[in-house]
Amino acid sequence: MRAHRGGAAPPEGPRFYSVAQVAEMLGMSSMTVYRAINAGEFPAVRIRGRLIVPAKAVDAMVEAAVADRTVVDAADWVVPPAAGQVAGVTLP
């Protein structure tokens, strides 16, 4: 196993989830998650055409919903694109 820079311990759990993993966790279809990402309603990172979801975003949404005992809107967790960037993504 490779050592991490700075001697830090490896992070616990995954740093990113696939769209399919998020869909399964949330009990919905992958296409629903892709559509939410495309509409700017769900946070994701695009790397060379592949979409991945930061685990921290999913964890924070769940923690907020539990702590506040309320419904959390995933769209509130999306960072608006910077000027000159495209907000939408191409669905598979």
pLDDT reported for residue 3 = 53
User: Along the 92 residues of the chain, how does pLDDT read in single tens digits?
Assistant: 455 566 666 668 999 999 999 999 999 999 999 999 999 999 999 999 999 999 999 999 999 999 999 999 999 888 876 665 544 444 44
pLDDT reported for residue 77 = 85
Q: Give the whole-angstrom CA distance, residue 79 versus residue 70.
A: 21
pLDDT reported for residue 88 = 47
pLDDT reported for residue 87 = 45
In a domain, 91, yes or no: no
In a domain, 6, yes or no: no
Q: Give the whole-angstrom CA distance, residue 89 versus residue 92.
A: 9
CATH label of the domain that carries residue 47: 1.10.1660.10
Q: Which residues, listed in sequence order, are joined to residue 46 by a DSSP beta bridge? A: 51
Print the domain residue range for 32.
Answer: 14-71
| Strand segments (E) across 1-92 | 16-18, 45-47, 50-54
Task: Count the domains in the chain.
Answer: 1
pLDDT reported for residue 2 = 52
Contact 64, 80 (CB under 8 A): no
Do the bridges between strand 16-18 and strand 45-47 make them parallel or antiparallel, or are there none, so unpaired?
Answer: unpaired
pLDDT reported for residue 5 = 61
Q: What are phi and psi of 34, to 5 degrees?
A: -60, -40
Query: Mean pLDDT, the chain, as a whole number?
Result: 84
